[in-house]
Copies of this chain bind each other. A is one copy, B any other.
Amino acid sequence: MKNVLGLRCIDCGKQVPAVAGTYTCPSCGKTGGIMDVEYDYKVINQLTSREQLAQSKDYSIFRYMPFLPIEPNSARPHLRVGWSPLYKPQGLGKSLGMSNLYVKDDGQNPTASLKDRASIIAVIKAVEEKAPTVAASSTGNAASSLAGSAAAMGIKSVIFVPSRAPQGKVAQLLIFGATVISVQGSYEDTFRLSAEAIERFGWYNRNAAINPYLVEGKKTVALEIAEQLNWEVPDWVILSVGDGCTIAGVWKGFKDLYNAGWIDRLPKIAGVQSTGCCPLVDAFVENRPWRPKEENTIADSIAVGVPRNPDKALNAVRESGGTMVGVSDEEILAAMRELGRTSGIFGEPAGVTGTAGLKVLVEKGVIGADEKVVSIVTGNGLKDVQNAIKAVGEPIKVEPSLKELLVKLEGKV
């Protein structure tokens, strides 16, 4: 990887070689999402340019190969990850009173969430490092995307889930041929057992928070936004926050483009959590270190009381001059309806939490009605139909009679 200079600790600033498995800073000893991939931007600019990209027919994250920490000739799964559509939905703009609003629908990925961007990097790195098996503990999008990418790559995946994991999500993992281990205990038990087993078996660890390469996959969403907007950087990018890896990836993407000289300014980054579980919003608003919180929200993909990438997440917001805000579950359900009704976009609760926060920030005047804003929808609503049912009302019930129908429809169509 001649484009990669090394890994830098975001805490003590030390740069170390990009050696496999460097998840803890060898200098200061700090761990947990602390290492950042550093690039040689001169090399990147020798390998690619905005003009060359305009000729590229690779509409996936791999159009940005020189910005990725993988060997040029590494094997890659066939799945088409990335280049999700960036829409300018007039109906939603009107509804929020905004003239320059874009929605990036990242539910349009092979396993229907943004997490595919990280998981495909995980399996590529696993094969580079000759690990025949990747592992993770999760019931959510990280798990299904890892299992999907592993299947496409032809390697094994082992997924640890707590016994309470919904049957549907377990089925999706099994469809992808994962070895699924249902741990008869809490999520904490599950995570601990997975860590022990990963160490025991030497499986490749897909944990976006500690593995610095996965944030690099996630950053491609920012590269795409910039290119899809013809390199005119938006004023704001807004999205939901759980562990903090995705928001960190978005910020890293824009910073890499800026440092490579491809864009001339940086956007502000807004992070949104549910008020039912918002340790990072509280830390930001009260300007203090984060503290664990209860996990009490329908937005399960971001119900993270102990975020595993808090430093990079808070950095992204602070460095960018952005903001954070909490929204209620009711506001999240309203955003699901609003996106669906006005734009034909069906997001899961955590997927639309950014849009719910956007509404609040526009109403408060923090985000101006004419500012150029990109709201990222991070996951597809088909992943969580139960909550869609909560978001909507009942259909109109009629007997099979036109006469009755006419009465019931009066004023409605």
Residues of B within 8 A of A72 (CB): none
Asked if A389 meets B344 with Cβ closer than 8 Å, knowing A184-B397, A401-B193, the reply is no
B405–A181 touching, CB < 8 Å = yes
Is A112's CB within 8 Å of the partner chain B?
yes
A175–B400 touching, CB < 8 Å = no
**Interface bits A369-392 vs B (CB < 8 Å: 1, else 0):** 000000000001111011011011
Is A210's CB within 8 Å of the partner chain B?
no
Residues of B within 8 A of A397 (CB): 163, 182, 184
Within the assembled complex, what's the spacing in Å between the Cα atoms of A345 and B88? 29
Q: Write the nearest CB–CB distance from A87 to chain B, whole angstroms.
A: 5
8 Å CB contacts to B: which residues of A145-199? 147-152, 154, 156, 158, 161, 163, 167-168, 170-177, 179-185, 189-190, 192-193, 196-197
Residues of B within 8 A of A148 (CB): 340, 344, 346
Asked if A175 meets B87 with Cβ closer than 8 Å, knowing A382-B112, A389-B168, A405-B181, the reply is no
Asked if A154 meets B79 with Cβ closer than 8 Å, knowing A395-B180, A395-B182, the reply is no
Is A91's CB within 8 Å of the partner chain B?
yes
Q: Write the nearest CB–CB distance from A98 to chain B, whole angstroms.
A: 15
Residue of B nearest to A173 (CB): B395
Is A368's CB within 8 Å of the partner chain B?
no
Residues of B within 8 A of A341 (CB): 151, 175-177
Within the assembled complex, what's the spacing in Å between the Cα atoms of A175 and B385? 10
With beta carbons under 8 angstroms apart, the residue of B149, B189, B345 that contacts A400 is B189
Is A246's CB within 8 Å of the partner chain B?
no
B180–A396 touching, CB < 8 Å = yes
Q: How large, as a class, is the contact surface on chain A?
A: 35 or more
Residue of B nearest to A132 (CB): B413
Residues of B within 8 A of A382 (CB): 112, 172, 380, 382-383
Residues of B within 8 A of A189 (CB): 400
Q: Write the nearest CB–CB distance from A46 to chain B, whole angstroms.
A: 25
Is A211's CB within 8 Å of the partner chain B?
no
Residues of B within 8 A of A156 (CB): 413
Residue of B nearest to A412 (CB): B179
B181–A398 touching, CB < 8 Å = yes
Residue of B nearest to A393 (CB): B174
Residues of B within 8 A of A380 (CB): 112, 382
Most buried by B among A133, A189, A346, A400: A400
Within the assembled complex, what's the spacing in Å between the Cα atoms of A117 and B85? 16
Is A125's CB within 8 Å of the partner chain B?
no
Residues of B within 8 A of A91 (CB): 151-152, 154
Asked if A172 meets B78 with Cβ closer than 8 Å, knowing A152-B344, A182-B395, A189-B400, the reply is no
8 Å CB contacts to B: which residues of A292-348? 336-337, 340-346
Within the assembled complex, what's the spacing in Å between the Cα atoms of A337 and B173? 11
Asked if A402 meets B196 with Cβ closer than 8 Å, knowing A154-B90, A344-B149, A396-B182, the reply is yes
Is A286's CB within 8 Å of the partner chain B?
no
Is A130's CB within 8 Å of the partner chain B?
no
Residues of B within 8 A of A265 (CB): none
Most buried by B among A78, A85, A179, A337: A78
Q: Write the nearest CB–CB distance from A112 to chain B, whole angstroms.
A: 6
Pick the 9 closest A-B CB pairs, nearest first.
A177-B341, A152-B344, A174-B392, A175-B340, A180-B395, A189-B400, A168-B385, A80-B85, A151-B344
Pick 6 A–B contacts, CB within 8 A, sort by A: A78-B89, A91-B154, A147-B344, A151-B340, A171-B385, A175-B388
